[in-house]
Chains A and B, each alone.
Chain A
Amino acid sequence: MMSKQRCNAKEQSGKGAKKNLRVGLLFCFFTSLFLGVVKTQAQTIRWTPDATNANKIAVEVIGLSALTRQKIQRWQPSQWQRLFAVYTATADVAMLGTYRLQGNILRFAPQFPLEPGLAYRAEFRTAQLPGKAGAPPVISTFRLPPRNTTPTTIVTAVYPSSEVVPENLLKFYLHFSAPMQRGGIYEYIQLRDDQNKSVELPFLEIDEELWDSSLTRLTVFIDPGRIKRGVLPLEEIGPSLQAGKSYTLVIRQAWKDSNGAPLKAEFQKSLRVVAPDREPPDPKQWQINAPPSGSRAPLVILFPEPMDHALTSRVISVMDTTDKVIAGQTMLAQQERQWVFTPTAVWSRGTHYLRIQTTLEDLAGNNIGKPFEVDLFAGVERHLKTSAVTLPFAIR
């Protein structure tokens, strides 16, 4: 309110209020320093942050005379936009937002918060006012402090964590320490052969990008056309990974996180490729190390091969003697060859069960009872009817 009164003092200066004018000018100068006000002629543009969100800025024209207010109060929003509009940098398309005339203030509330570091320009076109043809516009620019783009985000893990992978490896999971940016991600992921030459189009590039909801984990599938037997890409240019060769998965430093900062460092993972794996995982071959009853010692399963990190963490449950799921924490160890489950409560004596969804995959995408590829000529059993298998174990 004080600000409005002081800035109006300038417009009223013709009435001889010299003292008020001096105080008003002084006040507007300091206000412009602290609130981003640019003042020319009678009207002033002010950028006012919202109390709850510093990026939500209202842009206000203050110092409208009573006559001006009277003239424009019945205007349509489109007329207000012709009179007063806010733009990004040098754009000529006005930003979306709502207008309101409140007292001697014409207020524009942008529909979206302002972007840190981006320049904005507000134009109050005085010439649009009746009787003011040819009057120069009032222009004000504003910029929020830029985001901190000091690189801090790192690649925390890449799965499979084993260096040795089958030729028909199906996917990588890339884990980051902070949310990343979507869009154009494949230019930051490279597969280089042992001559340091990039493998051409090794990944399944889909626009939707397979992120988790926090944008800290990305799934990268190897192009299935470069894995599947009997399809053209494999016959034309061969597999993305070839048995007997070594590769390096490179995650480039230029990849930006959600703040717009590049990664702290490039990440490299060495790969040694062995023969393709076409055998579905068989829970009967798993070694179950059952803990003693009365303890909270972990239950440990040893797999004969490394398993898919995400699925193995999620699709195996432990059931008690009454078929209830036992609460606890799961972790993988030994390069995804070991599943470790620590219960919240102590183990009770009796027969327990592992319940394993058949969607569980090994590194080559073979499911339980369902290989990634079925050779119809080989006459293998193709499907299990159930979507989960159970495996009993005794707690003594």
Chain B
Amino acid sequence: MKRFSLFLTLVVCCVVLQTASAARWTVGMAEGKLELKSIGQLTFGPEGILFVADPKAAAIVAIATGDVKPVTGNPLLKVEGLNQKIAALLGTSADQLLIEDLAINPISHNAYLSVSRGRGAEAMPVLIRVKTDGKMEVVALDSIKWSRADLPDAPADKTIGEGNRASNPRRESITDIAFVDGRLFVAGLANEEFASTLRAVPFPFKSVVNGTTVEIYHGAHGRFETRAPVRTFAPFKIGNADHLLTAYTCTPLVQFPISDLKPGAKLQGKTIAELGNRNRPLDMIVYQRDGKYYLLMANSSRGVMKITTENIAGAESILAPVPDKKGMNYETVEAWTGVDQLDRFDSKHAIVVRRAEGGAMNLETLPLP
């Protein structure tokens, strides 16, 4: 009986601790209807919390999906004609559907897709869940737990024009988001000034969220230095320190330690690879294979690139002009064609949305190369 009581106490303690841990992340969340103005980048945080970018509202929303039942077995996902099937579910045609992003819930392995139903001004944001059994559904946002972080606009923004036509045409696109150690990193690119911001927003969100905003610079060959828009990034540990590996819109791959992200800082990362012309990064993931870490980068013009990070800790910043690619070695994964979206599925697989024949898009898991 005594042994049973001890066991019961332990079970209760575990449940309480788990609940307390889950509650820690849902602090400040309201329960009710969530209305999004638009939908873009997605990333998962702890305990099934999904971060959703709403670029039209200049906000990031955290949603407690409640999707916390661990996956059983090793189910793989494959949905052919994903865009056509989602369009049919939403009562529209595939050409009126935009798949904005893909994220895998690391606990359940269910796939989440942000889509816009419609391509015009009246487009409706929709969050789709594709379960590991292939079943597809719309994530209902009528009664969920959520919280929101408004991203501050540039100071002294003002409206242009008068009356009904008055508006502020400045907008900031959210090009990528990632959750690392209690902070959400948000990369943005404005549609006016050529400035890239990287914000670090502590989570759970506070009522007023300014986060840390830094300007990211790109130093080419140690001589010229410019502001540079971040396209996509992936968290990565080098030694014991958290780093961001960042792909810029102007070809280099750059690393910088997260500890350097301080309010108002001007960051200049270490250029560890020059990936050359026609490099148009879309998404990046980091994975481990045979004890080594690799970076997989989906690229609109070059297919998918596999980049070794073997010597990343000791990599030297590229300071001199180079005739071709330089720094970390990469290879193009020839078989992975037409990849538009990429995420890590499990330790052995990636998941992609890729273009197939006849305008179809397929969702499929692929063994990591």
Mutual binders A and B? yes
**Residues of chain A whose beta carbon lies under 8 Å from any beta carbon of chain B:** 86-89, 91-96, 110-112, 114-115, 118, 120, 170-171, 179-183, 201, 204-215, 217, 219, 221, 223-225, 228-233, 235-237, 257-259, 308, 310-311, 313-315, 317, 329-330, 355, 357, 359, 361, 365, 367, 372-377, 382-383, 387-388
- Evaluate whether A91 and B84 lie within 8 angstroms (CB atoms) in the complex, with A373-B225, A376-B223, A377-B223 already known: yes
Pick from B85, B89, B277: contact of A225, CB below 8 A.
Answer: B277
At the interface, yes or no: B288 with Cβ under 8 Å from chain A?
Answer: no
A231 & B251 in contact (Cβ 8 Å cutoff): yes
A235 & B321 in contact (Cβ 8 Å cutoff): yes
At the interface, yes or no: B155 with Cβ under 8 Å from chain A?
Answer: yes
CA distance in complex: A208, B340 (Å):
13
A110 & B276 in contact (Cβ 8 Å cutoff): no
A95 & B225 in contact (Cβ 8 Å cutoff): no
B40 & A208 in contact (Cβ 8 Å cutoff): yes
Residues of A within 8 A of B249 (CB): 204, 206, 223-225
Instruction: State the main secondary structure of chain A at its contact with B.
Output: loop
B192 & A219 in contact (Cβ 8 Å cutoff): yes
At the interface, yes or no: B307 with Cβ under 8 Å from chain A?
Answer: no
At the interface, yes or no: B35 with Cβ under 8 Å from chain A?
Answer: no
Instruction: Report A366 CB to chain B, min CB distance, Å.
Output: 10
B122 & A314 in contact (Cβ 8 Å cutoff): no
Contacting A at CB under 8 A, from B152-173, are 154-158, 160, 162, 167-171, 173
**Residues of chain B whose beta carbon lies under 8 Å from any beta carbon of chain A:** 40, 55-56, 84-85, 87-93, 96, 98, 100, 116-117, 119-124, 136, 138, 154-158, 160, 162, 167-171, 173-175, 189-195, 218-229, 231, 249-252, 266, 274-280, 282, 300-301, 321-325, 340
A-B contact pairs, 8 of them (CB 8 A): A88-B91, A93-B85, A210-B171, A235-B321, A310-B191, A314-B168, A365-B194, A388-B156
Instruction: State the main secondary structure of chain B at its contact with A.
Output: loop
In the complex, residue of chain B having the shortest beta-carbon distance to the beta carbon of A95: B91
- Evaluate whether A215 and B224 lie within 8 angstroms (CB atoms) in the complex, with A310-B169, A372-B194, A387-B155 already known: no
CA distance in complex: A314, B250 (Å):
27
CA distance in complex: A329, B322 (Å):
50
CA distance in complex: A224, B251 (Å):
9
CA distance in complex: A390, B213 (Å):
25
- For the complex of A and B, the 5 pairs showing the least CB-CB separation, nearest first, are A258-B120, A230-B220, A91-B88, A210-B191, A212-B169
A374 & B226 in contact (Cβ 8 Å cutoff): yes
B224 & A225 in contact (Cβ 8 Å cutoff): no
CA distance in complex: A210, B266 (Å):
24
In the complex, residue of chain A having the shortest beta-carbon distance to the beta carbon of B93: A118
Residues of B within 8 A of A237 (CB): 277
- Evaluate whether A182 and B116 lie within 8 angstroms (CB atoms) in the complex, with A210-B173, A231-B251, A373-B225 already known: yes
CA distance in complex: A237, B277 (Å):
8
A233 & B250 in contact (Cβ 8 Å cutoff): yes
Residues of B within 8 A of A215 (CB): 120-121
Residues of A within 8 A of B274 (CB): 231-232
B170 & A228 in contact (Cβ 8 Å cutoff): no
CA distance in complex: A179, B98 (Å):
17
A229 & B229 in contact (Cβ 8 Å cutoff): no
CA distance in complex: A231, B321 (Å):
8
In the complex, residue of chain B having the shortest beta-carbon distance to the beta carbon of A89: B93
CA distance in complex: A357, B158 (Å):
12
- Evaluate whether A359 and B226 lie within 8 angstroms (CB atoms) in the complex, with A180-B120, A224-B250 already known: no
- Evaluate whether A179 and B89 lie within 8 angstroms (CB atoms) in the complex, with A213-B169, A232-B274, A310-B192 already known: no
CA distance in complex: A258, B123 (Å):
9
Instruction: Report B206 CB to chain A, min CB distance, Å.
Output: 24
In the complex, residue of chain A having the shortest beta-carbon distance to the beta carbon of B124: A112
Pick from A214, A219, A359, A372: contact of B154, CB below 8 A.
Answer: A359
B91 & A96 in contact (Cβ 8 Å cutoff): yes
